[in-house]
Amino acid sequence: MKFYDCKTAPSPRRVRVFLAEKGIELETVQVDLGSGEQFSDAFRKLNPECVVPVLELDNGVCISEVLAICHYLEELHPEPALLGTTPEESAAVLMWNGKVEQLGLWAMAEAFRNATKGLTNNALPGPDPYPQIPELADRGRKRVGRFFERLDGQLAVNEYVAGDFYSMADISAMVVVDFAAWIKISIPDSAENLARWYASVSKRPSAAA
Amino acid sequence: MKFYDCKTAPSPRRVRVFLAEKGIELETVQVDLGSGEQFSDAFRKLNPECVVPVLELDNGVCISEVLAICHYLEELHPEPALLGTTPEESAAVLMWNGKVEQLGLWAMAEAFRNATKGLTNNALPGPDPYPQIPELADRGRKRVGRFFERLDGQLAVNEYVAGDFYSMADISAMVVVDFAAWIKISIPDSAENLARWYASVSKRPSAAA
């Protein structure tokens, strides 16, 4: 297997932390997003959406999308479980991972991509040029703030995002918090539960991945 | 279990088709999105994101997010499999389901919600008011067109969206095609593979759900 990564990007970091938690080491290829390597003919063959991460299997099949990659790795390496161990736990992880993507990660991408020099015509990831929309940058910032409030409420009654166990939902949410720092959005002072949880998950060795 | 549905909405339809394929019948509650029932205190307790579908378990736990609900149902009722039967098949289903959401469903929602009277301050689902952005309606339409091209290419070399087997990825993609018809976006004449696939999946009895 070969893992196509970009050391500086939030989405592949979700997989890197997942791998670190499981103690899996993979042959890794860095894709230089800064120079546009994701738009090269060679990379398009791996993922026509021109985004990392991608997991290339030994038979040549390529898996993109973070959840698909992590689910595949969990089936091959079930321990420690990061996607739940019962139907109800798995549902909670998938639900919260989905909420974190919808309310947090895509909102952050909206805020970041619509306000960053160098992405003038790349407001969305992928091969098609879409111009920035300044209103979306503002909307994205508001949405990230609301997401932090929502997550704080969930963490007021749960140790971790999907319940009383560490999971992929925590990995995704931690990546959103660190991504938000890129555009100077930090955990609000009032969000004490979120701050407590963030301190805890950030201390895990996997957070360095 | 209790299934909170809205008969006219695309997202819960994904679950309805999934249930029909498996022959599962659930106690179903219709949520009247037209009158704003999703914003009621009673519904917020089920899902603070104020969106359907929601699956309420007998112990009171509520699962929202389409994939989480379908994964839970698949674990309880494995046959017929709709999320793959091997790690590689499951990865293909999750990958394509994710691409269909990102490139198709959210693009369609963007096109629809930013151009529909009555949603002036509800450009995003959920409890927070976000004003419509007309540029997003145009961008959404373009993106749906591009998604149809992308899907046509995939279906040129595969009978179904995730490979040679019918899966949840087909359900999600069929729902996008039917949702697109709401704003008069149809399968382009050039997309013969997409048209062949759509005719096939729409003929299944589950498509009426």
pLDDT of residue B149: 98
| Residue pair B173/B104 in contact by the 8 Å Cβ criterion | yes
pLDDT of residue B6: 98
Is the Cβ pair B91, A150 closer than 8 Å? no
Q: Does B89 touch chain A (CB under 8 A)?
A: no
Positive or negative, the CA dihedral B63, B69, A174, A139 is negative
Give the pLDDT band (50/70/90) at residue A99.
very high
**pLDDT tens profile B144-175:** 999 999 999 999 999 999 999 999 999 999 99
Q: Does B83 touch chain A (CB under 8 A)?
A: no
Is the Cβ pair B75, A94 closer than 8 Å? no
Average pLDDT over residues A112-132: 96
Give the pLDDT band (50/70/90) at residue B24.
very high
pLDDT of residue B86: 98
pLDDT of residue A141: 98
Positive or negative, the CA dihedral B31, B36, B40, B46 is positive
Average pLDDT over residues B95-100: 98
**pLDDT tens profile B127-141:** 999 999 999 999 999
Walk me through the domains of chain A, giving residue ranges and CATH numbers. 2-76 (3.40.30.10), 87-208 (1.20.1050.10)
Mean pLDDT of chain B: 97
Which residues of A are less than 8 Å from B124 in CB distance?
143
**pLDDT tens profile A55-76:** 999 999 999 999 999 999 999 9
| A100: its two tokens | 């974190």
In this prediction the ipTM stands at 0.98
Q: Using CB atoms and an 8 Å cut-off, which of residues 148-207 of chain B contact chain A? A: 150, 153
Interatomic CA distance for residues A87 and A56, integer angstroms: 28
| A68: its two tokens | 């698909």
Interatomic CA distance for residues A121 and A183, integer angstroms: 19
Is the Cβ pair B133, A128 closer than 8 Å? no
Is the Cβ pair B63, A128 closer than 8 Å? no
Mean pLDDT of chain A: 97
Nearest CB to A65: which of B61, B71, B94?
B94
Say which DSSP state A34 is in: G
Q: What three-state secondary structure class fits A105?
A: helix
CB pairs under 8 A between A and B: 94
Is the Cβ pair B139, A146 closer than 8 Å? no
Is the Cβ pair A98, B48 closer than 8 Å? no
- Of all residues in chain A, the one with the smallest CA distance to B85 is A75
Average pLDDT over residues B194-205: 98
Interatomic CA distance for residues A54 and A64, integer angstroms: 5
pLDDT of residue A166: 98
pLDDT of residue A13: 98
